[in-house]
Amino acid sequence: MNNYSTLAVILAAGQGTRMRSSLPKVMHCVGHRPLLGHVLATCEAARVDQVAVVQGPDTPAVADYLMRQAPGARRFVQRERLGTAHALLAARAALEEHNEGCVLVLFGDSPLVSVETLARLRAALIDGAAVAVAGFTTERPGGYGRLLVEDGHLRAIREAKDCTAEELQVRLCNGGVMGLRADHCLWLLERIGNANAQGEYYLTDAVEVANRAGLKVTAVEVEEEDILGVNDREQLHAAEQVFQRRRRQQAMRAGVTLADAQSVYFSADTELAADVLVEPCVVFGPGVRVAAGVRVPAFSRLEAVSLERDAEISALAS
């Protein structure tokens, strides 16, 4: 598997008008870390070989963040927003250079994507798929696009409005995140047209193009929350809740005692050693590291501090 190098292209050019903010959508935070930062961190944890980020025009906040936090990532600009396939082609130079291995297409507004999801997409490509699409099963598929699978082969992604009554009963839905074999990637993208009502180039059409060419296309089932996208403040709140639940579970499984887990809030970079006791109503701001044996009193807020073993903390610390 190590012979298959991986390029992750993070699409981060969305305007985010539903956020009703002058801040680029991918710079809104979950766990005191920008959405884009979470995706970058997952790429690093997954040991992705190369990262490219496609940003929108006139987004200096995104460029500044990347220069500080991911100086090795290549930056590209999608000057016209003409769909997801068009956005991916904005990184053509990176795709042309990366002509062997795997290409993972991620979204800068999907902060909960996991290392496991990237590994499963990559494994499907290594196993011979030209295109691998992440999907999730839900009891309420509603308006989600359906993944139509026959004999283990992904035949089509059908938008809900175009589904037959039978297809609407399918509960396997499109999660958006996708992997493509590097040696097929540009060939597929260049054959995606824009003959649709919006006149845009959709990455999902790569499934149809690959099927017509007789290439293997597969669906990879993942958890729904793994590919949760953030388009408005309510979804931002939902992503925050999932993130906090995951971090609480991670802390407790690592030997941390949370006296009232639901009332403890973490930052993405919080580090707690085993045998730390966290009392109720504690907020960990950015830059906190706590060594073993420390008791964090109730109603504390900590930020930019490193606490050594057996440190004494006054309540309401700031």
The reported pLDDT for the residue numbered 276 is 96
CA-wise closest residue to 270 among 85, 145, 254: 254
pLDDT less than 70: residues of the chain: 1-3, 310, 312, 314-318
Could you give the strand order of the β-sheet that contains 295-296, starting from the edge strand earlier in sequence? 257-258, 277-278, 295-296
Q: What is the pTM of this model?
A: 0.94
- Strands 146-150 and 153-158, sheet pairing: antiparallel
The reported pLDDT for the residue numbered 160 is 86
CA 82 centroid distance within chain: 21
Domains and CATH numbers, the chain: 6-227 (3.90.550.10), 254-307 (no CATH)
Mean pLDDT of the chain: 94
The reported pLDDT for the residue numbered 159 is 86
The reported pLDDT for the residue numbered 1 is 42
The reported pLDDT for the residue numbered 315 is 54
Q: How far, CA to CA in Å, does 302 sit from each of 23, 54, 283, 314, 316?
A: 26, 35, 6, 11, 9
The reported pLDDT for the residue numbered 3 is 61
Contacts of 260 by beta carbon, 8 Å cutoff, 6+ apart: 279, 280, 281
- Check if the beta carbon of residue 222 is closer than 8 Å to that of residue 134: yes
Structure-block tokens of residue 60: 């200096």
